[in-house]
Amino acid sequence: IMSRKFFVGGNWKLNGDKKSLGELAQTMNAAKVDPNVEVVCGAPSIYLDFARSKLDAKFEVAAQNCYKVAKGAFTGEISPAMIKDCGVNWVILGHSERRHVFGESDELIGQKTAHALESGLCVIACIGEKLDEREGGITEKVVFAQTKVIADNVKDWSKVVLAYEPVWAIGTGKTASPQQAQEVHDKLRGWLKTNVSEAVANSVRIIYGGSVTGATCKELASQKDVDGFLVGGASLKPEFIEIINAKA
């Protein structure tokens, strides 16, 4: 089995200003980070240029969302072409906040994924079940359905990272246990093996998101199918460095 490069994404969400994000970039640039980890910071769209200019080249930047076309009469939207024009190579799509706060459908997320990849962006594609879905015993059904819509729109899996984020664990302080995370990641890999290919199942990074902190990251990182993290609040703090170095 080929080794999968550990991947840590920071999702800044709707947080930060030039002062605090400039300071965060200085902290990250000065820190000793594991060179075997791919690090991507998800900045608010208005700060994409700023983040790209302040962070060292060893760190990648991501937009937190984009639209499904390159340009047009879509007030308030940004396109993969614009993201690339800012020197940014990644986009986060399908985050639970986009799905559940802003009402984005599976279909729209699939279309966005296809267009972002066709435009040459790499995609962090997010999936995950809500608390009532987990308690109802349909976690697998939900995440497999979400994964299928993404998979139907991917040609080159080397440009995709799959982020499993149980919605009940995001920003709640509840983290899925390392065993719970490993179980879903293992099942997702099985789904990819059956429905895409064994090569893709073995090579694609499946990362975990949901209240990842310096305290929880090491045990999560030790699980064999957890290939990294998508970090929310902690990505704005110096402890983000600890999370990047979880395997070191």
Which amino acids are annotated catalytic? 95, 165
Residue 197 neighbours by CB under 8 Å, 6+ apart: none
User: Are the C-beta atoms of 219 and 192 separated by less than 8 Å?
Assistant: no
CB 86 within 8 A of CB 2: no
Classify residue 185 by burial, with Cβ atoms within 10 Å: 0-12, 13-18, 19+.
buried
Which of these, 247, 240, 248, lies nearest to 59 by C-alpha position? 240
Spatial distance between the Cα atoms of 105 and 99, rounded to a whole number of angstroms:
6
Backbone angles phi, psi at 92, to 5 degrees: -95, 125
61: Cβ–Cβ under 8 A, 6 or more apart, which residues?
40, 41, 42, 43, 48, 51, 52, 55, 87, 88, 89, 90
Q: Strand 6-11 vs strand 228-231: parallel, antiparallel, or unpaired?
A: parallel
CA 174, CA 177: separation in Å to the nearest integer?
9
